[in-house]
């Protein structure tokens, strides 16, 4: 990790005791104010809502409030470091939701990693919120948790590590292909990392029309020949086209590499074995699968990473504020695969003339959230 940045970040967090606080919308200066915002006035508000629960959107902050839920089992690239250690990351997401989409997002970390218990807790607190953002929950548990909550709640649920990542990868790839003048139907894609992000990327690329996708995990290429696959990897088999046995085998002659895995596992030699005008998205954080400079030196035409200190940062922070803004504003109860593709296309469209050094908009581009929101109508 860049130690100078870490040191400054620690000092900043210590100074402010975290990144978020609750602000008050109404004046509380005297007894009259108090009688309106609390008892007895608030009793009338509660009675109105008891007669019509939909009025919570009229009389409370619920319509603009979401929960960010984590169990601390897969925090960034740090692994299972526990719920307390996940709090700074969830607070950070709360800041981004507020800054970019004016959404009030509450960070909630859970002291359990039991699937049934997590589902029970989230369902229990759901009346407070208009949407649920699942975050940093390890695979394969995250798939079951998300699917069951989607089916059992009447508000939208999104696991951002899956779908936020998949959407921004597709957006970047749409523009990268324009630069290298290749078609989605003819390119060969290798995705390294078969966890939450890797499987979601496979699904969205397949839906968009990519037909040659190899998915690789720590034991090699995902294929029917293997007998060690968990259920989520078995379920993805119809969408993948295995190439070889190892990552190196799969990357030989490939047009696109997408890494959502581990640091320093791709060599210059492996990049050199790829097809001409190769696209390399090395997105492991904080240390990518191959450093961008090394990938470029090895012949990659377009290189992207998840880091802000290199060009072409592919980060789900480009996605989730706009997606949830759309979910809330249009009272959408379920995020569909087609909505995810539309969100990716909206992001890609903001770069009018993509180049090797610019395939994705800057996270501070104020057009991003409205573009994604409008795409979800």
* Same domain, residue pair 248 and 140: no
What pLDDT is recorded for position 16? 93
User: What letter would DSSP give residue 276?
Assistant: T
Burial class (CB in 10 A: 0-12, 13-18, 19+), 183: exposed
* Same domain, residue pair 188 and 253: yes
Q: Which of 7, 8, 38, 234 is catalytic?
A: 38
**Number of domains the chain is built from:** 2
Read off the CATH number of the domain in which 56 is found.
3.40.50.10380
Q: How far apart are CA 84 and CA 111, in angstroms?
A: 9
* Same domain, residue pair 271 and 321: yes
* Same domain, residue pair 53 and 168: no
Last residue of a domain, one of 155, 186, 211: 155
Q: How far apart are CA 340 and CA 322, in angstroms?
A: 11
Structure tokens at 341: 């593709």
Q: Which bin fits 287, alpha (ψ -120 to 50), beta or left (φ > 0)? A: beta
Has residue 181 been placed in a domain? yes
Read off the CATH number of the domain in which 336 is found.
3.40.50.720
* Same domain, residue pair 59 and 166: no
What pLDDT is recorded for position 270? 97
Has residue 1 been placed in a domain? no
Could you read off the pLDDT tens digit of each residue along the chain, which spans 377 residues? 568 888 998 998 999 999 999 999 999 999 999 999 999 999 999 999 999 999 999 999 999 999 999 999 999 878 899 999 999 999 999 999 999 999 999 999 999 999 999 999 999 999 999 999 999 999 899 999 999 999 999 999 999 999 999 999 999 999 999 999 999 999 999 999 999 999 999 999 999 999 999 999 999 999 999 999 999 999 999 999 998 899 999 999 999 999 999 999 999 999 999 999 999 999 998 889 999 999 999 999 999 999 888 989 999 999 999 999 999 999 999 999 999 999 999 999 999 999 999 999 999 999 999 999 999 98
Has residue 210 been placed in a domain? yes
Has residue 263 been placed in a domain? yes
User: What letter would DSSP give residue 275?
Assistant: P
Nearest Cα residue to 315 out of 327, 303, 307: 307
User: What letter would DSSP give residue 262?
Assistant: -
Nearest Cα residue to 319 out of 192, 159, 209: 159
Q: Which of 14, 17, 32, 93 is catalytic?
A: 93
Has residue 3 been placed in a domain? no
Q: How far apart are CA 281 and CA 187, in angstroms?
A: 15
* Same domain, residue pair 135 and 266: no
Has residue 4 been placed in a domain? no
* Same domain, residue pair 113 and 64: yes
Last residue of a domain, one of 155, 177, 203: 155
Has residue 118 been placed in a domain? yes
* Same domain, residue pair 150 and 169: no
Structure tokens at 347: 């992001």
Structural contact between residues 371 and 349, judged by C-beta atoms closer than 8 angstroms: yes
Has residue 6 been placed in a domain? no
What pLDDT is recorded for position 190? 98
Q: How far apart are CA 67 and CA 363, in angstroms?
A: 22
Reply yes or no on whether 38 is catalytic: yes
Reply yes or no on whether 353 is catalytic: no
What pLDDT is recorded for position 237? 96
User: What letter would DSSP give residue 65?
Assistant: E
What pLDDT is recorded for position 355? 97
* Same domain, residue pair 141 and 177: no
* Same domain, residue pair 141 and 191: no
Predicted TM-score (pTM) above 0.85? yes
Which residue has 């709090």 as its token pair? 87
Q: How far apart are CA 158 and CA 167, in angstroms?
A: 12
What pLDDT is recorded for position 3? 80
* Same domain, residue pair 88 and 184: no
Domain containing 252 equals 161-377
* Same domain, residue pair 194 and 58: no
Beta bridge partners of 302: 279
Last residue of a domain, one of 125, 155, 185: 155
């Amino acid at each position: 990790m860049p130690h100078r940045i870490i040191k400054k970040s620690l000092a900043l967090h210590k100074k402010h005791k975290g990144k978020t606080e609750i602000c008050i919308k109404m004046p509380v200066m005297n007894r009259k104010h108090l009688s309106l915002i609390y008892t007895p006035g608030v009793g009338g508000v509660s009675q109105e809502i008891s007669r019509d629960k939909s009025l919570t959107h009229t009389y409370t902050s619920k319509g603009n409030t979401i929960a960010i839920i984590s169990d601390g089992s897969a925090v960034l690239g740090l692994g299972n470091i526990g719920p307390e250690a996940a709090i700074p990351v969830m607070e950070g997401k709360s800041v981004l939701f507020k800054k970019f989409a004016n959404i009030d997002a509450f960070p909630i970390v859970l002291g359990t990693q039991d699937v049934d218990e997590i589902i029970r807790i989230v369902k229990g607190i759901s009346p407070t919120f208009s949407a649920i953002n699942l975050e940093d929950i390890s695979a394969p548990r995250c798939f079951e948790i998300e699917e069951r909550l989607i089916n059992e709640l009447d508000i939208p649920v999104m696991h951002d590590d899956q779908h936020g990542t998949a959407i921004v990868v597709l957006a970047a790839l749409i523009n990268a292909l324009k630069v290298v003048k290749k078609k989605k139907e003819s390119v060969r894609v290798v995705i390294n990392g078969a966890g939450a992000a890797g499987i979601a990327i496979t699904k969205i690329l397949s839906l968009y029309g990519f037909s040659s996708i190899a998915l690789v995990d720590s034991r090699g290429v995902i294929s029917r020949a293997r007998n060690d696959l968990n259920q989520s990897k078995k379920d993805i088999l119809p969408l993948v086209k295995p190439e070889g046995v190892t990552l190196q085998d799969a990357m030989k002659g490939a047009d696109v590499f997408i890494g959502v895995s581990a640091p320093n596992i791709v060599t210059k030699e492996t990049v050199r074995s790829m097809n001409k005008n190769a696209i390399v998205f090395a997105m492991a954080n904080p240390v990518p699968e191959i450093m961008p400079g090394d990938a470029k030196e090895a012949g990659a035409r377009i290189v992207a990473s998840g880091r802000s200190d290199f060009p072409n940062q592919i980060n789900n922070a480009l996605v989730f504020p706009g997606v949830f803004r759309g979910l809330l504003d249009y009272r959408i109860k379920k995020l569909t695969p087609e909505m995810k593709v539309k969100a990716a296309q909206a992001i890609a469209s903001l770069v009018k003339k993509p180049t090797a050094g610019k395939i994705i908009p800057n996270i501070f581009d104020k057009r991003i959230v409205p573009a994604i929101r409008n795409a979800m109508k």
